[in-house]
Structure 1
Amino acid sequence: MARIKLDLPERVVFDTTLDVRIGDINYGGHLANDAFLRLAHEARLRFLKSLGYTEMDVEGAGIIMTDAAIVYRAEAFHGDRLTFRLGLSDFNPYGFDLMYQVVDDNTGKEVARLKTGIVFFDYTARKIQSIPAAFAERFTA
């Protein structure tokens, strides 16, 4: 089976540090796969908040996740501090890919790379909408 390869964008636009909590640990004693997506969600919310946005209001538009992929590089354990470095790539008329590089603060080891596909969404009309020009200009210049 072919492995997924996630290339990181050149520019990191935001980073934040999150702690691995006991509820994030699976029966193998390390960070669970579903916990990575929860932590990525927290990192995404912090990124948006740093810009004055929410998931329901990015320049007047909502966002919705269309897909996700994770490539694991190392284990993480309870109490580890992980830095999530975010970058944006693959812009299209309706959205972009949000890329995450996850690094263990204690060891400097890369723990994982994640990608979440993001499109802009009108929650009232329940349909995809075009990327707001002000948002696109902010990150594609």
Structure 2
Amino acid sequence: MARIDIELPEKFIYSTSVYIRKNDVTEGIHVAFDTMWNLVREAHHNFLVDVGFTLTDINGTGLVFTNGLIVYQSEVSAGDTLLYEIALDNFTEKSCEYFFKISQKDSKKPVAKVRITILFFDYKTKKACAVPKEFIELSKK
């Protein structure tokens, strides 16, 4: 099977920490695949709220995750605190990509790299729409 990798951007515009609870770990071993997606979603939510948006209102538009990829680099256990660094890149008229660099907060040991394509969406008309200029500006900070 071919090894897939994610090339991360150099510039990250936001970071947040997420504590790993006992319930996040599968049978006391490590964080499960589905849990890692939920933790990424939590970091994504923290980012939007901290910059003044919500999941369904980014200056009048919402967003949809159209695809995603996680490349794991090391295990995560209960009691760990992870640092999620977020970048925005590869903008098109109606979409862009989120990049997450996930590491152990204290040791800086790499945990995972994540790439998610997001499509901006008007939930009233049920159609894709342009990326809000305010969102594009975030990537330039």
Q: Report the TM-score, using the length of structure 2 for normalisation.
A: 0.93
Identity of aligned residues (%): 33
Aligned residues, how many? Answer: 141
| Partner Cα separation in structure 1 for residue 138 and residue 48 of structure 2 | 13
Tell me whether 20-29 or 47-56 shows the greater mean CA deviation.
20-29
Structure 1 residues 132 and 72 mapped into 2: Cα distance closer, same or farther (>3 Å)? same
Aligned to 2:55: 55
Shift of 1:106: 3.1
Aligned to 1:20: 20
The runs of 4+ residues in structure 1 deviating greater than 3 Å are none
**Residue segments in structure 1 that go unaligned for 5+ positions in a row:** none
Shift of 1:27: 3.6
Letter in 1 for 2:62: G
Aligned to 2:2: 2
Shift of 1:73: 0.3
| Partner Cα separation in structure 2 for residue 25 and residue 115 of structure 1 | 23
Shift of 1:26: 1.5
Instruction: Map Cα deviations across residues 45-76 of structure 1 (whole Å, 9 max, x no partner).
Output: 11111110011111111111101100000001
| Partner Cα separation in structure 1 for residue 135 and residue 112 of structure 2 | 27
What pairs with 1:1-141 in structure 2 (closer than 5 Å)? Answer: 1-27=1-27, 29-140=29-140
| Partner Cα separation in structure 1 for residue 106 and residue 85 of structure 2 | 15
2:22·2:28 contact (CA, 8 Å) conserved in 1? no
Instruction: Map Cα deviations across residues 78-123 of structure 1 (whole Å, 9 max, x no partner).
Output: 0100000000111111111100011112322100011111110111
2:13·2:138 contact (CA, 8 Å) conserved in 1? no
